[in-house]
Chain A
Amino acid sequence: MNFKVSSSPHNRIKRKTSDVMLAVILACIPGILAQVWYFGIGVLVQIALAITAALLTEIICLRQRNRSFMQIKDNSALLTGLLLGICLPPLAPWWIAVIGACFAIVIAKQIYGGLGQNLFNPAMAGYVVLLVSFPLAMTLWLPPLNLIEYSLSAWDMILVIFTGYSDQGYSLAQFRTSLDGITMATPLDAIKTGLSNQQTYQEILQQNIFNHDFGIGWMQVNLAYLLGGLWLLQRKIINWRIPLTFIASLFLLSGICYLASPQSIADPLMQITSGATMFAAFFILTDPVTASTTPKGRIIYALLVASLVFVIRNWGGYPEAVAFAVLLANMCVPLIDYYTKPRTYGHVKG
C-alpha cells in the first residue's frame, strides 16, 4: 500500500487565505451600502471599475511572471480593487479607477513579488498616486444627494463617470455646487477650509451642511464600517490591537488638542467618525501583508498611523490623511517588527 505521509500537524483550520480575504470583503458591505445611500450609485460604479481593472491586471501579471492565474482565487486582488474603489470619489472619471487599480497591482504589489511580499498597501499606494497626479479629480466629493441643486439620476451618474457630462449636459463642477453655493469635499475639508478662512470651529458647524444630513451621512458611513469591523473582530479575522489603538489614539490626540484649543480644531468625535477613519481602522491598517505582525508592533504601528493622520489632517496640505499616513507607517514596519519581537518562552527579557 502506498501510504500518504505528511508532516504534522495533520489537521488545519478550515479558514484559507481566500476565506480571510472574502470575509474582509463581506465586512465592507454595510459601509458600501451606506455610501451608496448617501452618494449614489456612482460609488458602486467606481468599485466595479476598480475591481475589474485590478483582477485583469493581476491575471496579466501572474501570466507574465509564469504563475498560475488560478492564484487569482486567493481574492487578494479582488480586495485591493474593492478597497481602492471605496476610496474614490463617486463621480470621478472612469480612468481614475483604472489607473489606480493598475498601479496598485503592478507597481505596489506584483513588482515586489506578489502576494505577501509587498511593502506598501496596494490600495493606498494606488490612491496616493491618483491623489498626487490628479488632485482635482480626486477631491470631487459630492455633497450628499439631497443637498444637490440638480437632481441626479443613476444614469446621470454613470454618464458623468464615463463621459464627464450628465444627460442634461451639466458638468461635474456644476454638481458640486451645493445649496449654499460652496464647493465641498468632505466635512473635514470643509472644516479645514473654514478654519483657514478664520472661522472658528463652532462657526463652521453652524453651516448648513453640518446641520443637515451631510455630517450625519459621513458619520453613518463610518458607523457602518465600524459594524463590519466589529464583525471581523468577532470572527477573529483581524486582531483587535490595530483598530483599537488607532481609534483610541486618534481620539486622545484630537481630544487633547481640542481641550487646549477648542476653536481651532475639530472635536474628537468628529475626528473619529468622519473621513475614512473607521474604514482605515478596520480595513486599511489591518491589511495583513503591510502591517506589523508582532503584538507590540501592531500597537506601535497603529499609534504611528494615528499620529500621522492627526498631523496631516490638521496641518498638512492634503485633506485625506489616511493614505499618506499608512504608506509612511508601512515603511517603518520591518523596523517595528524587528524591535518588537515578543519574549520567547523561557527567555528572560532583553
Chain B
Amino acid sequence: MDSLIEKIKSGYLWDFPGGVFPPERKKLSNHSPIKQLPLADEYIIPVKQHIGHPANIVVQIGDSVLKGQALTQVQGPMELPVHAPTSGEIIAIEPRISAHPSGLEELAIVLKPDSLDNWCEKSPTPNYFTLSKVELLDKLKQAGISGLGGASFPTYVKQSNSQPIELLIINGVECEPYITADDMLMREHANEIVSGIEIFTHLLQPKLVVIAIENNKPEAIAAIEAACSGKTKFVVRAIPTKYPAGGEKQLIQVITGQEVPSRGITADLGIISQNIGTAYAAYKAIVQGEPLIERVVTVTGEQVNSAQNVWARIGTPVQFLLDNQGYKPLKKPRVIMGGPMMGFALHSLATPVAKMTNCILAPSDKALPAPENEQACIRCGYCADACPASLLPQQLYWHSKAKEYDKAQDYKLFDCIECGACAYVCPSEIPLVQYYRIAKADIKTEQLEHEKAEKAKERFNARNERLEREKQERLDKHQQAAESRKKAMAKDQGAQDKVAAALARVQAKKQAKETPEQQETTNKTAQNVADSAVSQDTSAKATAAAAIARAKAKKAAQAKAEQLAKDTDKTPTTEDSAQAKAKAIAEKIKAKRQAEAQAGSDAPAEPDNAAVKTESDNKDTEQGLTPAQIKAKAIAEKIKAKRQAETQAGSDAPAEADTVAGKTESDNKDTEQGLTPAQIKAKAIADKIKAKRQAEAQTGSDVPADPDNAAGKTESDNKDTEQSLTPAQIKAKAIADKIKAKRQAEAQAGSNEQAEPENLANQTETASPKNEPEPSAATDVKSTETAENELTEAEIRQQRVKAAIAKAKAKKQALGDK
C-alpha cells in the first residue's frame, strides 16, 4: 500500500474500462451562485431518507418545532434522524409520495412553517478533536448525515469502520450530465469542505486524502487546491471526464487501480470514499452544530428558465423549486430527480427533496428524447464496450428477458451498478437497465420466498409431529377419562349435581335480568362468543377443547332436558328466551362438535392457522427488526397469557372471544411498525378477512359478526386510517376506540355483562383473588342456593376472567411498548 500511496502522490492515474461521453450540459446551471430560497408553504419530510431503518417519530400533530429540531429519534442500528427544516407546526404525519423511483407513498412528517425560521439551540464544537471518536460519530449520527452523493448511506456507519484506513477519497467528480451542485459548492465553500474533510481524517487517520474532481471543473479544482494549500496529506486530483468516473468503484479504480471485491466494501481495500457534499454537511454538523436540513440542488433542464443551484431545505416540494426557477411544463411533463443517466422520473411534483437529491431536471424532449421503440438486439457489442464493470450487458439482457435468472447470475448480474452506460449506447434503444432491475427484483423475491418456504416446511413438519403426538395423547386420555368417568359416575352423583347447578345459575340470572329482546341479543352474543371460541380453538388446545366440548355437550343435553321441563311452567316471555337459549346452546354444541371433529382429524388443523399463521406471517415480514422481535415476543406472551386466562376462567368461551379482539389488535400493531402503510393495510385487511372466513367456515354457520369482532374491526379500521400518528397517539386513540366500540357492543347487548367478554384494564382492580371460589365440592353444595347468590358468583367469575384478560393485556402492552 505504501508504494501505491507514493504512486498516487506522484500523480499517476489509472483508467477504468468502458465508459461513455454523454453531452454534459453543465453550462446551463454553473454560471450563477447558489441561490437562497424563500420558505415553501409546507415541507414534507420523509421519515426514512437513507439506506437502513427509519428512526422513531418523537413529535405529534400540532406540535410546534424549531428549525433543526429532531423529528425522529434514533434507537437502533442503521437509523438516522430527520430534522425540522424550519420552525413551524407539524400538521400531518401521514404517507406521502416520497423521493423514490416507485413513486410510492412513505410515512412523512408534514411541517407548516411559521415564517419565523427560528433555530433550536445549536451545539457547535469547533474544537471537535477534543471529543472521543464515539462522541464525534454520535454527533454525525444525531445530525442525520448520510451520503449526499446519491446512495444515502449513513455517514456515521461508514466512518465507524474498524478496518485500518489508508486512503480517504473525497468524491467531487460529479460525472452525471447537467448536475453542478458539487461543482458550485466547491467553488463557494471550499474552506468549509476542507474543514469537513479534516473531521473525517481525524476519525479515520488515513495516510492520504485524495480529492478527486473531474477536469471539466477548473474553477472548483482551483478553489479546493487553494483551500488545501499547506496540507501535506491532501492531494487534489483532476481526473479525466468520462461517465461514470464518479461511481465509487470506478473512482477507486481511477485513483488506485484497485477494484473493490465483488460483494465487498471499499474498506476491505483500506479505502473510504465520501462525497464533497457530505464533507460540507459534516462541517456544518460538527463545527456549527447544524443538523442536515438543507443541501445544494441543481434545478436545471431546458424547460427551466433560470437553471441554477439552490439551497433547498430537505422536504421542499419539487414543484416549489421548479416554480422558483420558472418552469415551463411540456404537454406530457417529465421531471427527473437526479441526473439523466441514473436519476428517476418523478410521478408527481409533490415529491419532496430528500437528503440524496442532487438535481431536479426538467429536460426538453429534444435534449433527452423519450425512449422510442425497442428494437431487436443486433449483437453489436457496443454495450459491452461501454460497460465500466466489464459485464456483457447483451447476454444479461437476453437472460433477463427470457427470465433465465441462473444464467443471468452466471453473467454477474449483481455486479451491475446500473450506471446506464450500456443502455445509453444501445442502438436498438433497448432499456437494458430496466431489464436488469426487474431481474434483480425477481431474483430477490425468489430468494425470499425460497427462504420462507423452507421455514414453512420446517414449521409444517414440526406441527405434523406435534399433531401426531397430541392425537396419541388424546386417545390415551380419552380412554382414561372414559374409565374414570365410569368410576366417578358409579361413585358419585355430585358431578351431575354440579352441572345442573351451574345451569340453574345461569338460567336464573338470565331470567332475573333480561327482557326478551335483550335476551335475544344476549343469545346472539353468546352464540357468537361460542363461534369465535370455536374459530379460535387451536390445535394446541385440541385436547382441552375436546374434553371441554364433551363436558359441554353433556351439560347442554342436560340443560335441554331441564329446559324442556321448565318450559312448560314458564310465562310466554321466558319461554321465548328459553327457546332462544336452547337454540344458542344447540349451536354451541354443533360448533363444539365440529371443533372436536376437526381437531380429531389430521387435516392440519387449518382453523388454528387462522391465528397462528397470521401471527407468524407478520413475524416473517419483520425479521431482523428489533421492534419486530419484541413484538413477536409480545405476541407469544399474549397467546400464553390468553391461554392462562382461559384455563383460569374455567369457561373458555369468553376468553377466546377476546382472542379474536386480541388478534385483531396484534394485526393492528403490525400497522404501527413503520412499514409501508399501504402494504400493512392490505395485509391487515387480508389477515382479518382470512381469519374471519376461517372462523365462519369452521363453525359452518353464517353468523353475523359478533359485537366483539365488530369492535375489533372498528379498531383496526380506525387505526389504518391513522397511520400518520405517532405510535403513542395511535395507541391512545386505539384504546379510546376500543372503549367506544365496547360501549356500542354493550349497548347492543342491552348492558348485559355476559355480552362483554373482555374488559378494560382498570376493571382489573375490582377482581379480588380472595373472592375466587374453588370449583370444589363446596360449590356443589352451593348449587342449591338462591339464584341471586348464583348471580354474584357468576359475576365474580366474570371478573376473574376479566382480570386475567386485563393482566394479559397489560403485559402485552408493556412488551409492545418496549
Chain A interface residues toward B at CB < 8 A:
1-13, 15-17, 19-20, 71, 74, 76, 114-117, 239, 288-291, 293-295, 298, 337, 341-347
Task: Judge whether A1 and B343 touch: CB under 8 Å.
Answer: no
Please report the C-alpha to C-alpha distance between residue A337 and residue B379 in the assembled complex, in whole angstroms.
Answer: 11
Instruction: Name 8 A/B residue pairs within 8 A (Cβ), A-sorted.
Output: A4-B333, A8-B344, A9-B421, A12-B424, A17-B375, A116-B378, A295-B384, A341-B392
B437 cross-chain contacts in A, Cβ below 8 A: 7
- With A9-B423, A12-B426, A116-B379 known as contacts, the answer to whether A293 contacts B384 (CB < 8 A) is yes
Partner among A10, A11, A344 whose Cβ is within 8 Å of the Cβ of B391 = A344
Chain B residues with CB below 8 A from A291, complex form: 379
**Chain B residues, CB < 8 A from A298:** 381
B413 to A: closest C-beta gap in Å: 10
Which of the 9-residue segments B84-92, B427-435, B711-719, B736-744 touches chain A?
B427-435
| Residues from 346 to 386 in B contacting A, C-beta threshold 8 Å | 346-349, 363, 367-371, 375-381, 384-385
B interface bracket (residues with beta carbon within 8 Å of A): 35 or more
Across the interface, do A115 and B429 meet the contact criterion of CB distance under 8 Å? Answer: no
A20-B380 in contact given A8-B420, A12-B423 (Cβ < 8 Å): yes
B384 touches A4 (CB 8 A): no
Cβ contact within 8 Å between A345 and B329? no
Q: How far is the CB of A343 from chain B (nearest CB, A)?
A: 6
Pick the most buried of A7, A9, A294, A337: most chain B CB atoms within 10 A of its CB: A9
Question: Which residues from A are CB-within-8-Å of B341?
Answer: 8-11
**Which stretch, B35-43, B258-266, B568-576, touches the partner chain A?**
B258-266
CB-defined contacts of B369 to chain A, threshold 8 Å: 11-12
Q: Are A3 and B346 interface neighbours, CB within 8 A? A: yes
B370 touching A5, Cβ below 8 Å: no
Does A347 contact B262, Cβ atoms closer than 8 Å?
yes
For chain B, what secondary structure do more than half of its interface residues adopt (helix, strand, loop), or is it mixed? loop
Residues of B within 8 A of A290 (CB): 379
Question: What 0/1 readout, one digit per residue, does chain B (373-409) give for beta carbons within 8 Å of chain A?
Answer: 0011111110011001111101100000000000000
12 new A-B contacts at CB < 8 Å, known A12-B423, A13-B427, A20-B380: A8-B344, A8-B420, A11-B22, A11-B368, A12-B369, A12-B371, A13-B22, A288-B381, A293-B392, A344-B415, A346-B260, A347-B415
In the complex, what residues of A have CB within 8 A of residue B261's CB?
A: 346-347
Q: Nearest chain A CB to B318's CB is how many angstroms away?
A: 11
For the complex, what is the distance from the CA of A8 to the CA of B340, rounded to whole Å?
Answer: 7
Would you call B137 an interface residue if the criterion is a C-beta within 8 Å of the partner chain's C-beta atoms? no
Given the contacts A1-B333, A3-B334, A346 and B103 also touching, CB distance less than 8 Å: no
Q: Is B237's beta carbon under 8 Å from chain A?
A: no
Does B750 make an interface contact (CB < 8 A)? no
**CB-nearest residue of chain A relative to B420?**
A9
Contact across chains for A114 and B376 when beta carbons are under 8 A apart: yes
Residues in A with CB closer than 8 Å to B411 are: 341
The answer to whether A16 touches B429 (Cβ under 8 A) is yes
Q: Report the minimal beta-carbon distance from A64 to chain B, rounded to whole angstroms.
A: 17
- Separation in Å of the A65 CB from the closest CB of chain B? 12
B61 an interface residue at 8 Å Cβ cutoff? no
B335 within 8 A of A: yes
Asked whether B282 is an interface residue with its Cβ less than 8 Å from the other chain, the reply is: no
Q: Please tell me if the beta carbons of B384 and A20 are within 8 angstroms of each other in the complex.
A: no
Please give, as numbers and ranges, the residues of chain B lying within 8 Å of A1 by CB-CB distance: 329, 333, 349
- Interface flag for B50 (CB, 8 Å): no
Residue of B nearest to A20 (CB): B427
**Chain A contacts for B345, CB-based, 8 A:** 3-7, 10
Identity of the chain B residue whose Cβ is nearest the Cβ of A68 in the assembled complex: B373
> A-B contact count, CB below 8 Å?
170
Inter-chain contact B348/A345, CB cutoff 8 Å: no
The verdict on A3 contacting B392 (CB below 8 Å), with A10-B343, A116-B378 known, is: no
Chain B nearest CB from A232 CB (Å) reads: 12
Q: Is the CB of B249 within 8 A of A346?
A: yes
Beta-carbon contact of B370 and A345 below 8 Å? no
B23 cross-chain contacts in A, Cβ below 8 A: 11
Contact of B376 among A11, A117, A341 (CB under 8 A): A117
Question: Interface digits, B252-271 against A, CB 8 Å rule (1 contact, 0 not)?
Answer: 01000001111110000000
Judging by beta carbons under 8 Å apart, are A10 and B376 in contact?
A: no
- For the complex, give the distance between the alpha carbons of A345 and B338 in Å: 25
Q: A20-B380, A346-B264 are in contact. Are A5 and B347 (CB under 8 A)?
A: yes
For the complex, give the distance between the alpha carbons of A6 and B253 in Å.
31
- A165 nearest CB across to chain B (Å): 43
- Chain B interface residues (CB < 8 Å from chain A): 16-17, 20, 22-23, 103, 177, 249, 253, 259-264, 329, 332-336, 338, 340-349, 363, 367-371, 375-381, 384-385, 388-392, 394-395, 411-412, 415, 418, 420-421, 423-429, 431, 433-434, 437
Partner of B424 from the list A11, A294, A347 (CB cut-off 8 Å) is: A11
Q: How far is the CA of A291 from the CA of B380 in the complex (A)?
A: 9
**Residue in A8, A114, A116, A294 whose CB lies within 8 Å of B392:** A294
Give CA–CA (A347, B249) in the complex, Å. Answer: 13
Q: Within 8 Å CB of B390, what residues of A?
A: 342-345
Q: Which residue from chain A places its CB closest to the CB of B249 in the assembled complex? A: A345
A12/B429 in contact, CB under 8 A: yes
- Cα-based distance from A117 to B401 in the complex (angstroms): 14
* The residue from A19, A293, A295 contacting B427, defined by CB atoms under 8 A apart: A19
- How many Å lie between the Cα of A116 and that of B374 in the bound state? 13
CA distance A15 to B427 in the complex (A): 6
Of B22, B344, B347, B412, the residue contacting A347 (CB under 8 A) is B412
Residues of A within 8 A of B263 (CB): 346
* CB of A155 to closest CB in B, whole Å: 40
- Please tell me if the beta carbons of B259 and A6 are within 8 angstroms of each other in the complex: no
Q: Which residues of A contact B332 (CB under 8 A)?
A: 2-4
**For residue A113, which residue of chain B has the nearest CB?**
B376
Question: Separation in Å of the B403 CB from the closest CB of chain A?
Answer: 18
Contact A345 B426 (CB under 8 A): no
Q: CA separation between A2 and B332, bound complex, in Å?
A: 6
Instruction: Check if A13 sits within 8 Å of B424, measured CB to CB.
Output: yes
Question: Roughly how many angstroms separate A17 CA and B260 CA in the complex, as a whole number?
Answer: 35
What is the distance, in angstroms, from B524's C-beta to the closest C-beta of chain A?
Answer: 52
Contact A8 B262 (CB under 8 A): no
By beta carbon, the residue of chain B nearest A13 is B425
B392, A342: Cβ atoms under 8 Å?
A: yes
Given the complex of chains A and B, what is the CA–CA distance between A290 and B381 in angstroms?
Answer: 11
Q: Are B376 and A115 in contact (CB under 8 A)?
A: yes
A127 and B30 alpha carbons, distance in the complex (Å): 58
Contact of B381 among A15, A71, A239, A344 (CB under 8 A): A239
Q: How far is the CA of A273 from the CA of B548 in the complex (A)?
A: 101
Q: Which chain A residues lie closer than 8 Å to B375 at the CB level?
A: 16-17, 71, 74, 115
Instruction: Determine if A9 and B264 form an interchain contact, defined as CB atoms under 8 angstroms apart.
Output: no
Tell me which residues across on chain A come within 8 A of B333, comparing CB atoms: 1-4
The reply to whether A3 and B335 form a contact with Cβ atoms under 8 Å apart is yes
Q: A6–B376 contact, CB under 8 A?
A: no
Chain A residues within an 8 Å CB radius of B426? 12
Beyond A116-B377, A288-B378, A288-B381, whether A10 also contacts B336 by CB under 8 A is yes
Q: Could you tell me the distance in whole angstroms from the C-beta of A287 to the nearest C-beta in chain B?
A: 9
Q: Identify A8's interface contact among B259, B363, B378, B433, CB under 8 A.
A: B433
| A11 adjacent to B177 (CB under 8 Å) | yes
Docked complex Cα distance between A74 and B375 (Å): 9
B259 contacts which of A4, A13, A293, A346 (Cβ < 8 Å)? A346
Docked pose: A347 CA to B428 CA in angstroms: 29
Q: Which of A2, A7, A12, A345 has the most CB of B within 10 A?
A: A345
Cβ of A334 to closest chain B Cβ, rounded Å:
11
- How many Å lie between the Cα of A291 and that of B22 in the bound state? 27
| Chain B residues positioned under 8 Å from A117 (CB to CB) | 376
Q: A6–B378 contact, CB under 8 A?
A: no
CB pair A344–B429 under 8 Å, yes or no, is no
Alpha-carbon distance between A7 and B249 when the two chains are bound, in angstroms: 23
A-B pairs, top 6 by smallest CB distance, nearest first, are A9-B420, A293-B381, A346-B262, A7-B434, A288-B380, A116-B376
| Chain A residues, Cβ within 8 Å of B385 | 239, 295
Within 8 Å by CB of B379, from A8, A12, A288, A343, lies A288
| Contact (Cβ within 8 A) A344 B329 | no
Question: Which residues on B sit within 8 Å (CB–CB) of A8?
Answer: 338, 340-344, 418, 420, 423, 433
